[in-house]
């Protein structure tokens, strides 16, 4: 009787794999790495509409914070009587300015140099929105100062007043700074040299946003808001924290010179 044996299959070498996993690019730091999160978490995709940048990643926190601020301040303001014509426009204009300035930042933040057309388009919207926000803040400041002059009230008697004037002044400088870099780079010695100071425009921009938020928050401690409107301080502070919490984690480290960009 002849015995038969089943031939064994040859063993594959160890270096040959039938399935190869994709490399985990999230572990490799790159220019698109946000301040908090993984690389690519908060960047605009090639097939994504620009408006998606407004709520991408933690951006939804900023939108929630803005809504909370509007409700916390405007409802008590507009339901309080009498409506003072030289006072009511001030918080409305300043809150609208904050809304527009925040959206301008959120719109441009996720863009990258890998999508130059999308970045250029977002930059144009960013510039126009910031110009609008500056005009809104300036108008609101002029109105409240006019109200103080007409009623013979002290112009600087609170932290909110000092922060407000300082913030509007810095916002004007920031807008001029960005305008010269983008539109008249010759001021900086040419386009290449102008690109090198972009990061300082971004640093200053985020600093100004913090001042805007601090000014907004400090409004809840002013005499009029505290004594007559009954605005919820918790709502204002929470709104400010949410706006900041939506913007700052999305900062691309490469755009601040903290990664190669």
pLDDT in tens, 179-210: 999 889 999 999 999 888 989 999 999 999 99
pLDDT in tens, 122-152: 999 999 999 999 999 999 999 998 988 887 7
As a whole number, the mean pLDDT across the chain is 85
Chain centroid to CA 142: how far?
25
The answer on pLDDT for 15 being more than 60 is: no
Q: CA 133 → CA 137, 156, 183, 241, distances in Å?
A: 6, 23, 19, 20
Q: CA 203 → CA 105, 175, 252, distances in Å?
A: 12, 13, 12
Radius of gyration for the alpha carbons in the chain, expressed in angstroms and rounded: 26
Task: Give yes or no for a contact between 56 and 205, defined as CB atoms under 8 angstroms apart.
Answer: no
Among residues 211, 259, 241, the alpha carbon closest in space to that of 112 is found at 259
Among residues 43, 22, 47, 19, the alpha carbon closest in space to that of 252 is found at 43
261 confidence band (pLDDT: 50, 70, 90): low
Spatial separation of the C-alpha atoms in residues 223 and 164, rounded to whole Å:
15
Among residues 207, 173, 202, the alpha carbon closest in space to that of 261 is found at 202
């Amino acid at each position: 009787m002849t015995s038969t044996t089943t031939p064994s299959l040859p063993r594959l070498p160890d270096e040959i794999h039938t399935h190869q996993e994709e490399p985990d690019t999230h572990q490799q730091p790159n220019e698109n790495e946000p301040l908090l999160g993984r690389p690519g978490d908060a960047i605009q995709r090639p097939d994504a509409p620009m408006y998606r940048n407004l709520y991408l990643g933690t951006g939804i926190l900023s939108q929630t914070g803005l809504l909370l601020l509007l409700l916390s301040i405007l409802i008590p303001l507009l339901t309080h009587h009498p409506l003072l014509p030289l006072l009511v426009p001030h918080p409305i204009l300043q809150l609208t300015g904050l809304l527009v300035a925040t959206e301008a930042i959120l719109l441009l933040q996720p863009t990258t140099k890998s999508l130059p057309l999308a970045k250029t388009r977002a930059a144009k919207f960013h510039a126009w929105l910031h110009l609008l926000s500056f005009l809104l803040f300036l108008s609101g400041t002029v109105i409240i100062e006019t109200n103080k002059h007409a009623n013979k009230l002290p112009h600087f008697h609170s932290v909110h007043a000092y922060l407000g004037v300082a913030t509007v002044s810095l916002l004007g400088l920031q807008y001029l700074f960005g305008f010269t870099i983008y539109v008249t780079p010759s001021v900086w010695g040419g386009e290449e040299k102008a690109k090198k100071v972009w990061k300082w425009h971004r640093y200053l921009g985020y600093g100004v946003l913090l001042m805007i938020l601090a000014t907004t928050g400090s409004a809840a401690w002013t005499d009029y808001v505290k004594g007559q409107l009954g605005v919820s301080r918790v709502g204002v502070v929470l709104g400010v924290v949410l706006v900041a919490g939506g913007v700052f984690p999305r900062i691309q480290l490469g755009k601040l010179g903290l990664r190669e960009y």
